């Protein structure tokens, strides 16, 4: 018995007694292998540790809410609980933030871009003279320190980010304005004005989230129309999260992907693989301004792979430093790492053991997109095998823990894109969970989060609360998980 | 009334029977979800969502339903769905900035055994955390765990082995951070 087999049996015997012969062989191995014996002791101790974790008490509020739901025979919208808490917290946050977030971070010390059109403003003062060292935040003495710390952090970060960060205002100058500076990456006369837009959410002493509008004063220049996906009327709405990993520690400031209006991204073109499955018609609406093409250096692909009922769902997360259209392809392939074989082109199936590849075209209006494919029927070896995703020359590779089941050695292994568009009629909505029941569509439930855009057929934004039973909707999104029905919506169009 | 009878009544629309099932599983499901997501309020939200989903779907289940496995399956899917959604949001650093390597160490220094376990659970894939919690914290049998996941017992054993190895590695990593901090 080798060590790998022995360790597997050590794990197995935590779940059920081993048959006599394997048990005897394992005992012999453990007696002669100190490493495996230590592994056995450790794994048992760790699992005992998990078993000993204390339970948390059940919440009476949940009990009341579920009882009310049952009493109403399921018709009553769910409310209370977190929803109520969020509202209360939001009110608190509003009180703290509303004035505070109008903090004007005048871009002190910005290098002058005197040749930019409309640049009639006087040169900016020095950074030290104008930087808002402490934002004018009407904090109360009893407020949690998170607010003061976080707002200080926000002030400092924004000042730098707007001028120099990868998503800096320079990206949003029109091409002729860029050219006029004679600088490939002009640093504009920029000032960030951050205003509070929506309710914030107090999550804990160590984290809160809020939606802010970041508008950038480009010294009279207008943002390029091609960047309208992220900048709507000169405003770039983002979620900002302040988070620290330990009480008393420093806050880290995180910026969400851009939140864009529906139609900011054209529907993906069908690929051979995607067109094999029925899809809903493309969402109607105004023709959006095209996003600029992505540059290789802006992109980062990462991969995950999860097993599901004999297949493997491969998710390629493509993130971009700027909003852009990935006019190239995301290529997902199965490759032998030894020879790094990859088949170019849009091919949905190859041989049973050879490399397979599929492609998808995506837009990145959220500065991120996920391309999900299902890999089925693999009858080849796992030695040296890897999943590779290529995005404009950027490569990510992953050796999966599991491989698809071999269903038929005579049939090709396949990769197919997961469907991303559905339509159906709303049966009910849940305001607190922000879900929509769509029983007539195979997806069942649509989950809405803060990055979801909702609009009518003309492209006018709608609130979640405006959705009503009987509405016919088109949904673009991703499966919430491969193990459960439902999707996370990126965009919803209401056809009234 | 035994559970089988309660489930039968609840499937027929008996709200009192469903309330009894709720009382049996509310605590365990909340604990399970709390260990999955690490946030008490969120665990309550997800528990509520779990039971609301269960109430809505119970009438469409088969008479031989294994309620225990079924309710854990709903809870698992609800939690994984939430975690995936959170991951999909893809928070990006506001500024490249400098990472805070010392933060983990400071945190680890104060950690007790339970916190180490919680932190290690949070560092592994949610699907791995889920299977370990089902099997060891919630005490489901191998067969029940497999049932929750919709896989065969043999597949569940393979996943458990991988999950245990991943957890041990994560635990050692967290514990090492604590040691280094001293």
Average pLDDT over residues B75-102: 53
Model confidence band, residue A303 (pLDDT cutoffs 50, 70, 90):
confident
- Note whether A366 contacts B90, CB cutoff 8 Å: yes
Cα distance between residue A236 and residue A168, in whole Å: 11
Model confidence band, residue A478 (pLDDT cutoffs 50, 70, 90):
low
Model confidence band, residue A219 (pLDDT cutoffs 50, 70, 90):
very low
Residues 92-131 in B contacting A (C-alpha not used; CB under 8 Å): 92-97, 100, 103-104, 106-107, 110, 113-114, 117-118, 121, 127
The residue of chain B with its CA nearest to that of A320 is B92
Say if residue A415's pLDDT is above 70. yes
Q: What residues are paired with A475 via a beta bridge?
A: A422, A492
Say if residue A457's pLDDT is above 70. yes
Say if residue A263's pLDDT is above 70. no
pLDDT at res. B68: 92
- Cα angle vertex A184, ends A180, A190, to 5°? 70
Condensed to tens digits (0 to 9), the pLDDT of residues A417-443 reads 664 566 778 888 888 778 888 876 666
Say if residue A171's pLDDT is above 50. no
Residues of chain B with pLDDT > 90: what percent? Answer: 30
pLDDT at res. A103: 20
Cα distance between residue B135 and residue B58, in whole Å: 24
CA B54 to chain CA centroid, nearest Å? 17
Nearest to B136 among A51, A245, A484 (CB): A51
pLDDT at res. B138: 93
Among A197-201, B103-107, B149-153, the range of highest mean pLDDT: B149-153
pLDDT at res. A446: 85
Chain B CB contacts of A59 below 8 Å: 30, 44, 47
Q: What is the three-class DSSP state of B181?
A: helix
- Interface pTM, i.e. ipTM: 0.86
Q: How close does chain B come to A351, measured CA to CA in Å?
A: 26
Average pLDDT over residues A333-340: 52
The residue of chain A with its CA nearest to that of B127 is A306
Condensed to tens digits (0 to 9), the pLDDT of residues A241-255 reads 555 566 666 555 555
Q: Tell me how many helices (H) and strands (E) chain B has.
A: 9, 1
- Cα angle vertex A324, ends A318, A329, to 5°? 55
Condensed to tens digits (0 to 9), the pLDDT of residues A52-69 reads 888 888 888 788 778 777
Nearest to B114 among A53, A160, A484 (CB): A53
Average pLDDT over residues B132-145: 93
pLDDT at res. B130: 94
- Note whether B157 contacts A15, CB cutoff 8 Å: yes
Among A14-28, A119-133, A204-218, the range of highest mean pLDDT: A14-28
pLDDT at res. B60: 82
pLDDT at res. A309: 55
How much is the mean pLDDT over chain B? 79
Condensed to tens digits (0 to 9), the pLDDT of residues A272-291 reads 222 222 222 333 333 344 55
Average pLDDT over residues A12-35: 91
Which of A195-199, A463-467, B21-25, B143-147 has the lowest average pLDDT?
A: A195-199
pLDDT at res. A280: 29
Q: How close does chain B come to A253, measured CA to CA in Å?
A: 6
Chain B CB contacts of A432 below 8 Å: 45
pLDDT at res. B160: 94
pLDDT at res. B33: 94
Condensed to tens digits (0 to 9), the pLDDT of residues B27-52 reads 999 999 999 988 777 788 888 888 88
The residue of chain A with its CA nearest to that of B93 is A254
Task: Report the candidate in A440, A411, A410 with the shortest Cα–Cα distance to residue A425.
Answer: A440
pLDDT at res. B87: 52
Cα distance between residue A231 and residue A264, in whole Å: 10
Q: Tell which wins on pLDDT, A90 or A496.
A: A496
**Interface membership of B81 toward A (CB under 8 Å):** yes
* Disruptive mutation site among B17, B30, B84 for chain A (greatest number of A CBs within 10 Å): B84
The answer to whether A306 and A479 have CB atoms below 8 angstroms apart is: no
Model confidence band, residue B162 (pLDDT cutoffs 50, 70, 90):
very high
Condensed to tens digits (0 to 9), the pLDDT of residues A108-164 reads 211 111 112 222 222 222 222 222 222 323 333 444 444 444 545 555 555 454 444
Q: What is the DSSP string of A278-292?
A: --PPPPPSPPPPPPP
Task: Report the candidate in B34, B182, B95, B71 with the shortest Cα–Cα distance to residue A54.
Answer: B34
Nearest to B48 among A14, A62, A157 (CB): A62
Query: A with B: how many residue pairs have Cβ under 8 Å apart?
Result: 200
The residue of chain A with its CA nearest to that of B49 is A433
Chain A CB contacts of B167 below 8 Å: 46, 50
Among A351-355, A482-486, B79-83, B127-131, the range of highest mean pLDDT: B127-131
**Interface membership of B171 toward A (CB under 8 Å):** yes
- Note whether A15 contacts B118, CB cutoff 8 Å: no
């Amino acid at each position: 018995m080798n060590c790998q087999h022995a360790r597997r049996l050590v794990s197995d015997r935590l779940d059920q007694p081993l048959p006599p012969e394997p048990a005897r062989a394992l005992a012999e191995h453990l007696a002669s292998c100190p490493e495996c014996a230590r592994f056995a002791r450790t794994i048992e101790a760790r699992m005992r540790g998990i078993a000993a974790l204390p339970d948390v008490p059940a919440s009476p509020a949940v009990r009341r809410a579920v009882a009310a739901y049952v009493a109403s025979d399921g018709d009553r919208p769910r409310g209370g609980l977190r929803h109520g808490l969020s509202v209360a917290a939001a009110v608190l946050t509003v009180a703290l933030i509303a004035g505070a977030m109008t903090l004007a971070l005048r871009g002190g010390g910005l290098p002058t871009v005197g040749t930019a059109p409309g640049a009639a403003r006087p040169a900016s003062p020095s950074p030290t003279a104008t930087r808002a060292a402490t934002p004018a935040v009407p904090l109360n003495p009893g407020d949690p320190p998170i607010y003061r710390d976080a707002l200080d952090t926000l002030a400092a970060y924004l000042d730098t980010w707007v001028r120099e960060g990868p998503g800096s205002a320079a990206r949003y100058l029109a091409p002729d304005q860029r050219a006029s500076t004679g600088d490939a990456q002009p640093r504009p006369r920029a000032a960030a004005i951050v205003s509070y837009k929506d309710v914030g959410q107090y999550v804990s002493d160590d984290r809160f989230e809020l939606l802010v509008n970041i508008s950038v004063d480009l010294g009279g220049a207008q943002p390029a129309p091609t960047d309208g996906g992220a900048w709507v009327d000169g405003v770039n709405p983002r979620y900002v999260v302040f988070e620290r990993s330990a009480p008393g520690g420093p806050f880290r400031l995180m910026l969400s992907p851009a939140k864009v209006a529906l139609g900011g991204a054209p529907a993906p073109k069908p690929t051979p693989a995607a067109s094999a499955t029925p899809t809903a018609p493309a969402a109607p609406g105004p023709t959006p301004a095209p996003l600029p093409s992505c540059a290789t250096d802006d992109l980062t692909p990462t991969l995950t792979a999860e097993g599901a009922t004999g297949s493997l769902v491969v998710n390629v997360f493509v993130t971009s430093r700027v909003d852009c259209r990935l006019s190239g392809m995301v290529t997902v392939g199965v490759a032998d790492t030894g020879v790094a074989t990859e088949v170019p082109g849009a091919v949905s199936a190859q041989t049973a053991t050879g490399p397979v590849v599929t492609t998808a075209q995506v837009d990145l209006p959220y500065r991120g997109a996920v391309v999900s494919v299902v890999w089925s029927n693999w009858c080849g070896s796992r030695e040296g095998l890897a999943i590779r995703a290529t995005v404009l020359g950027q490569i990510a590779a992953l050796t999966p823990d599991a491989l698809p089941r071999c269903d038929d050695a005579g049939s090709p292994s396949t990769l197919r894109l997961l469907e991303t568009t559905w339509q159906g009629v709303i049966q009910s909505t849940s305001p607190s969970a922000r879900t929509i029941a769509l029983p007539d569509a195979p997806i069942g439930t649509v989950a809405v989060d803060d990055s979801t855009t909702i609009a009518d057929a003309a492209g006018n934004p709608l609130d979640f609360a405006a959705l009503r039973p009987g509405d016919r909707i088109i949904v673009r999104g991703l499966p919430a998980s491969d193990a459960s029905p439902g999707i996370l919506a990126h965009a919803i169009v209401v056809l009234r | 009334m035994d559970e089988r009878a309660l489930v039968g009544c609840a499937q027929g629309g008996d709200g009192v029977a469903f309330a009894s099932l709720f009382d049996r599983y509310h605590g365990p499901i909340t604990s399970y979800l709390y260990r999955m997501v690490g946030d008490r309020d969120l665990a309550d939200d997800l528990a509520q969502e779990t039971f609301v989903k269960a109430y809505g779907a119970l009438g469409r289940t088969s008479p031989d339903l294994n309620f225990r496995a079924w309710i854990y399956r709903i809870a698992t899917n609800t939690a994984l769905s939430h975690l995936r959604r959170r991951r999909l949001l893809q928070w990006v650093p506001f500024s490249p900035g400098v990472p805070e390597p010392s933060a983990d160490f400071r945190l680890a220094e104060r950690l007790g055994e339970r916190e180490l376990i919680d932190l290690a659970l949070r560092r592994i894939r949610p699907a791995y955390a889920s299977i370990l919690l089902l099997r060891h914290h919630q005490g489901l049998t191998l067969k029940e765990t497999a049932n929750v996941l919709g896989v065969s017992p043999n597949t569940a054993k393979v996943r458990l082995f991988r999950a245990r190895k991943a957890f041990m590695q994560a635990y050692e990593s967290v514990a090492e951070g604590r040691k280094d901090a001293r």
